[in-house]
Amino acid sequence: MAQRRSRRPGPGVLALSPRRPPRRRTRACRGDRLGVGAHQLNTAPSTTTPERKARPMKITSMTTYTVPPRWLFLKIETDDGIVGWGEPIIEGKAATVAAAVDELSDVLIGKDPANIEDLWTIMYRGGFYRGGPILMSAISGIDQALWDIKGKALGQPVHQLLGGKVRDRIRTYSWIGGDRPGDTAAAALETKNRGFTAVKMNATEELQFIDSYTKVDQVIENVQAIREATGEDFGIGVDFHGRVHKPMAKVLIKELEPYRLLFIEEPVLSEHFGSLRDVMANTPTPIALGERLFSRWDFREVIASGAVDIIQPDVSHAGGITETRKIAMMAEAYDVALALHCPLGPIALASCLQVDAGSYNAFIQEQSLGIHYNTSNDLLDYVTDPSVFNYDDGMIDIPSGPGLGINVNEEYVIERSAEGHRWRNPIWRHTDGSFAEW
């Protein structure tokens, strides 16, 4: 049975009350084996009296939707009828993040959504235990939705509220290959023919601490084939995906130098960033890191260490627009470039583009159109007007509409949430049976 959390009269008392029969499927209870669909988190009464309208807007409800291929969407409603959308997700942990959003709703329902900085501070500092991927992803999606509401209320795109834009569009790249790289040269050429000027690919499958040079040769052959197929001016990003340990990372990076890569991503895991200075000392290739860092405090030491050239915070993991903007400015102070991580859905991409618009050090934007994860649904499926993400000459326009600048197709979101997903990343093993980093 679907339930609605509502406030009854009395100091801070929360009670459960039955929902009206919904037109959408909801994630009803813990007994639901799949735990997918729409989850109505919390609702407060609204009123439309003139006296009420003279007072600040209030958050009235928060609903999460688990939608294919592996995303979680959040809708925040207000008593003024303005709706904001966010994308709070850690891939493979959608239900866990939804539970965190539910908990955070206790401090948000009834509050003025315009007070974004204060609400962010309460969500982060209001709990004794802070940070980490789950909490920060929940905060991220909420923060995106709050900015969406504020922009819509004022009739302005979010980037205008952040001080205006320094660019009209930004370079973007397309993913090629899969978890285990295949015929990447043909895919890169096809991507170039579609107008993109850069691609990103996984470098390798699993590697031991010290591994065979045959695997190294396979990586080099793949990258060499892409370079020969696409030409010298085409951007190639190679993602080590945290699969490679320091000894083999140094070997691979050195061997890849002749191919003049756009960047190498996550040459080692973020928790081993102390090794990055040693890795970076061996190459002129730009080194990128950051998708598994979740706040300005996580990024502070990495940026100050001088061990990275490019940071890659994810607006759906690293505290939303509010926090990612601060991380970007901190990086700029150290002459570090920004390339926001975003293999996610349209709300996350729109949020990234709003940050890119006003971030001087942003130089390229990831997006998930056609990525190998998007098997049942793709990036543009959940927006009413796909042309808002206008790809042209390897660039993507900054959305200029109010809020995040996109209109979510709520009817389709509800329809697909009936299926939901239980996406999990694969578990890999080495030939000796030991666990291998994916």
User: What CATH number is associated with residue 378?
Assistant: 3.20.20.120
Residue 255 belongs to a domain: yes
Give me 401's structure tokens. 């509409």
Does one domain contain both 129 and 189? no
Q: Say if CB 199 and CB 235 are below 8 A apart.
A: yes
Does one domain contain both 220 and 110? no
Instruction: Count CB-CB contacts under 10 A for residue 424.
Output: 10
Residue closest to 264 by CA, chosen among 202, 176, 185: 202
Compute CA 322 distance to the chain's CA centroid, rounded to the nearest angstrom: 14
Residue 421 belongs to a domain: no
Residue 72 belongs to a domain: yes
Does one domain contain both 124 and 251? no
* Predicted local confidence at residue 428, as pLDDT: 80
**Is position 159 annotated as part of the catalytic site?**
no
Does one domain contain both 132 and 249? no
User: What CATH number is associated with residue 107?
Assistant: 3.30.390.10
Mean pLDDT by 10 residues, the chain (438 residues): 31 33 33 43 48 78 95 97 97 96 97 98 95 97 99 98 98 83 83 93 85 91 93 94 89 95 92 81 90 95 93 98 98 98 96 98 92 78 93 94 98 94 86 86
Q: Which domain holds residue 137?
A: 3-157
Residue 143 belongs to a domain: yes
Domain end residue (candidates: 108, 138, 157) = 157
Predicted TM-score of the model (pTM) = 0.87
Q: Say if CB 42 and CB 61 are below 8 A apart.
A: yes
Q: What angle do CA 60, 61, 67 make, to 5 degrees?
A: 155
Instruction: Provide the β-strand partners of residue 366.
Output: 173
* Predicted local confidence at residue 41, as pLDDT: 52
Does one domain contain both 170 and 138? no
Does one domain contain both 76 and 132? yes
Residue 418 belongs to a domain: no
Does one domain contain both 61 and 169? no
Does one domain contain both 122 and 58? yes
In angstroms, the Cα distances linking 336 to 42, 159, 289, 362 are 41, 21, 11, 9
In angstroms, the Cα distances linking 320 to 70, 116, 135, 374 are 19, 11, 11, 23
Domain end residue (candidates: 96, 123, 157) = 157
Q: What angle do CA 182, 188, 194 make, to 5 degrees?
A: 135
Residue 151 belongs to a domain: yes
H-state helical runs in 194-310: 213-230, 246-256, 276-280, 296-304
Q: What angle do CA 185, 364, 225 make, to 5 degrees?
A: 15
Does one domain contain both 24 and 57? yes
Give me 135's structure tokens. 């909490």
Compute CA 133 distance to the chain's CA centroid, rounded to the nearest angstrom: 12
Residue closest to 203 by CA, chosen among 216, 190, 191, 185: 216
Residue closest to 344 by CA, chosen among 143, 144, 68, 151: 68
The domain tally of the chain equals: 2
Strand residue runs (E) in 329-427: 337-338, 365-366, 391-392, 395-397
Q: Which long-range contacts (CB under 8 A, 24 or more apart) does 150-153 make?
A: 150/84, 150/113, 150/114, 150/116, 150/403, 151/402, 151/403, 151/404, 151/405, 152/82, 152/83, 152/84, 152/402, 152/403, 153/57, 153/80, 153/82, 153/114
Catalytic hit among 241, 245, 317, 421 = 241
Does one domain contain both 136 and 173? no
Count, residues in the chain = 438
**Is position 241 annotated as part of the catalytic site?**
yes
Instruction: Provide the β-strand partners of residue 435.
Output: 429
Q: Say if CB 313 and CB 347 are below 8 A apart.
A: no
Q: Residue 220: CB partners within 8 Å, gap ≥ 6?
A: 255, 256
Phi-psi region of 134 (alpha: psi -120 to 50; beta: other; left: phi over 0): alpha
Residue closest to 35 by CA, chosen among 80, 81, 133, 102: 102
Does one domain contain both 324 and 391? yes
* Predicted local confidence at residue 206, as pLDDT: 82
Residue closest to 225 by CA, chosen among 269, 197, 174, 189: 189
Residue 430 belongs to a domain: no
Does one domain contain both 224 and 296? yes
Residue 97 belongs to a domain: yes
* Predicted local confidence at residue 39, as pLDDT: 52
* Predicted local confidence at residue 315, as pLDDT: 98
* Predicted local confidence at residue 268, as pLDDT: 87
d(CA 372, CA 229): 21
